[in-house]
Amino acid sequence: MQTVPSAGPKLARVPVRNPYSALPNWLYPALVAVTLTAFALYSAWVVFGNSGGRFGPYLSPFYSPEITLRLGGFLVPPALWVAWAPLAFRATCYYYRKAYFRSFFWHPRSCAVPEPRSHGSNYRGETGFWALNNLHRFALYAITVQMAFLWFDALAQFYYQGAFRVGLGSLLMIVNVVCLSGYTFGCHALRHLAGGRSDCFSCSRVRFRLWKGVTVLNVRHDRWAWVSLFTVLGTDLYIRLLVLGVLPHAPWA
């Protein structure tokens, strides 16, 4: 087969400009990569380097529900029973997938943007190992159960030692569970469950209302994803510093 030389003028390679921001192109991917890496390292330390996350009525989201099990005399890290669900949920989340593919791999780099030369043009979508991301719906089921425990913990901590109590930890736990709900219940898979698989999703009032409710949260799904990541971190850090005695806490009256 003969190669036909291009008849048109040679196109010069010009730097890719982001039409929506004056910030450099590398900044957002770099922030995503640094933040997710830092959170992953902190989470690994919490799960494998600690045996609990309770201080008085406060319970870290990494330990909800609290499960204590010894196998052969060894305590299975209690956070291990919990952490797999949010890990699976966030790792397969449609938004995070976009974020980590673009930030860690630059593959694909962005819509309609040429790949770096080193990557060639071999992007094949989420096939092979990445097809596991299709299990996101099942991670949603697991995380929904966990949300029930988190809400219970966040409300139950107000009643401690026979009295109603409020502290900074109470506030953090409530803010955390609200933000996690905003993230969880704006999930694309939940939106599909509510309004998808139907030729007329507005024919059922219940489904239509549910779909509209999920859509309200779904519009800002990326923001909920980040805010809830930080509220989980902040809540755990505060309770952990209390447990470790780094932060003082007034005795429960």
**Separation between Cα atoms, residue 33 and residue 27, nearest integer Å:** 10
When the beta carbons of 142 and 237 are compared against ligand FES, the nearer one is 142
When the beta carbons of 94 and 151 are compared against ligand FES, the nearer one is 94
When the beta carbons of 221 and 240 are compared against ligand FES, the nearer one is 221
**Separation between Cα atoms, residue 196 and residue 113, nearest integer Å:** 31
* Smallest distance, ligand FES to C-beta of residue 17, A: 29
When the beta carbons of 189 and 242 are compared against ligand FES, the nearer one is 189
* Smallest distance, ligand FES to C-beta of residue 92, A: 8
* Smallest distance, ligand FES to C-beta of residue 51, A: 29
Q: Given CA atoms 69, 71, 73, 78 in this order, what sign does their dihedral have?
A: negative
**Separation between Cα atoms, residue 37 and residue 98, nearest integer Å:** 16
* Smallest distance, ligand FES to C-beta of residue 66, A: 25
Number of residues that make up the chain: 253
When the beta carbons of 167 and 186 are compared against ligand FES, the nearer one is 186
DSSP state of 102: I
**Separation between Cα atoms, residue 218 and residue 150, nearest integer Å:** 21
Residue type, 108: P
Q: Pairing between strand 163-164 and 159-160?
A: antiparallel
Contact 46, 240 (CB under 8 A): yes
Rg, Å, the chain Cα set: 23
List all residues 6 or more positions away from 165 whose beta carbon is below 8 Å from its beta carbon. Answer: 57, 157, 158, 159, 252
Residues that bind ligand FES (CB under 6 A): 89, 93-95, 136, 187-189, 221
When the beta carbons of 25 and 35 are compared against ligand FES, the nearer one is 35
* Smallest distance, ligand FES to C-beta of residue 211, A: 15
**Separation between Cα atoms, residue 58 and residue 234, nearest integer Å:** 13
